[in-house]
Chain A
């Protein structure tokens, strides 16, 4: 019968030689490979203390942005939700009342804005769809948990700290500029 691949090898049924029956040469050869790795560069990092540098295109948890005056940029236009392939985004819009101009940039805003992080596939299409530069994917990933609760992120979890009232929190959320 013709072999299916060119790499198939015939099984050898020959009795083992003395050196093979001792097993020691094979054991030392294997241990030699193992010990040689002690002197090689470690590919692992010690995670909580050490963190791996993310790629510049890394897409993590979402951030809802504010403008330079600290007003929320999101106008609940629904384009992120319609672009979302996993249908993870839901929102409810409301009209800005007189006196709320310092909170919301436009006359309409998202009163409720939720992303189900269990559904989200972090594709970044919401970021691309947003006409108001309101949503960004940050460099943090969603923390692990044992239950499903806590994976629905609301506005409290996502809106960036206000640059006017909480400049320190804003600077921390913004992070340091990348060198590359």
Chain B
């Protein structure tokens, strides 16, 4: 069979012709929209990913044209390839929706649900998934897993309790970097992401494990607790980087660059891997050429308070000073006299790592 053979597959009553060897998940993504099953572990840019989280379960109601029997159980769409004439039910099947809600509950079994603290909140796939299925709470009443804390160096913070063991970061570290340094230790309930013998992750591209992590298990230490993502303005920006493409999303507040991430597509997957220097070291707006605001899905909390297009991204040129020949407006009150927030001497984005009580000590001024 040649690679150009097209198979006709029907997903949720929408037909599409896809090349042989395509998985059901990718065929559904070609159709797009709600038809595409959610995926917590599958990552199209990482070879070998998928098949672990079971959130992409679909029902195959007709196996193929030649063998029309339905598949006996729900199948993981990221690992099942299409057959000619296959009919798949995703959201049209109550069985699938029910099973997925169960999977979400299982994923949340050991998840600490510390979203108010977690830096991933607002862009967390597990959070989205659980709210979509109405399973944002938990019925689990027992002690959750606890772990010894592993230090992954000065850039990456590991919260093993939040991990859902999707293996994405393991594949990312394996495939993007020359030398694999971290992986899963132990097995079963005890399995955890860790580096062997407390080794720091130092590879040039290792920061990408933060972006591939669907939950808040791997987060950016330079952004830790600095701000919530929905208060930041995502801007597309680029710089001339010798190691990577340099195409990133800046998360700004005013002129301050709080966080740098890779650009993510509609499936939450990174478009271009970026290097550690771009991600962690370049926190000055002068380092970057800003292209414009990044389009955020309007259902996301990140889009709240943001206007569409370029509104609010440029400083006004017709200020009072410009109109009144350099005369400044008379201010009746300086906000910094009464407010402690955004004190000019404390630049949160410039602090390395999370802020502590000593950063806010008035004696430091």
Contacts and interface: CB of A to CB of B under 8 A. Distances in A.
Given A77-B116, A106-B117, A149 B338 contact: yes
A88 to B, nearest CB: 12
Interface in A53-80: 75-79
B356 A82 contact: no
Contacts of B357: 94, 97, 100, 111
Contacts of A107: 117
Contact of A94 (B115, B228, B342, B360): B360
A138 interface: no
Contacts, number: 78
Contact of B224 (A75, A92, A95, A132): A95
Nearest to A95: B354
Nearest to A116: B339
B348 to A, nearest CB: 7
Binding site of B, secondary structure by majority: helix, strand, loop or mixed? loop
Contact of A112 (B114, B231, B304, B341): B341
Contact of A114 (B121, B340, B360): B340
Given A82-B301, A94-B360, A132 B116 contact: yes
Nearest to A154: B340
Interface residues of B, number: 30
B231 A79 contact: no
Interface residues of A, number: 28
Contacts of A148: 333, 338
B112 to A, nearest CB: 11
Interface string B147-166: 00000000000000000000
B341 A92 contact: yes
Contacts of B339: 90, 114, 152
Interface in B335-350: 337-342, 346, 348
B7 interface: no
A91 interface: yes
B114 A106 contact: yes
B214 to A, nearest CB: 20
Interface string B126-164: 000000000000000000000000000000000000000
Interface of B: 114-117, 121, 224-228, 230-231, 301, 304, 333, 337-342, 346, 348, 354-360
Interface of A: 75-79, 81-82, 90-95, 97, 100, 106-108, 111-112, 114, 131-132, 148-150, 152, 154
11 contacts: A75-B117, A76-B225, A82-B231, A92-B355, A94-B356, A95-B354, A100-B357, A106-B116, A111-B357, A111-B360, A112-B360
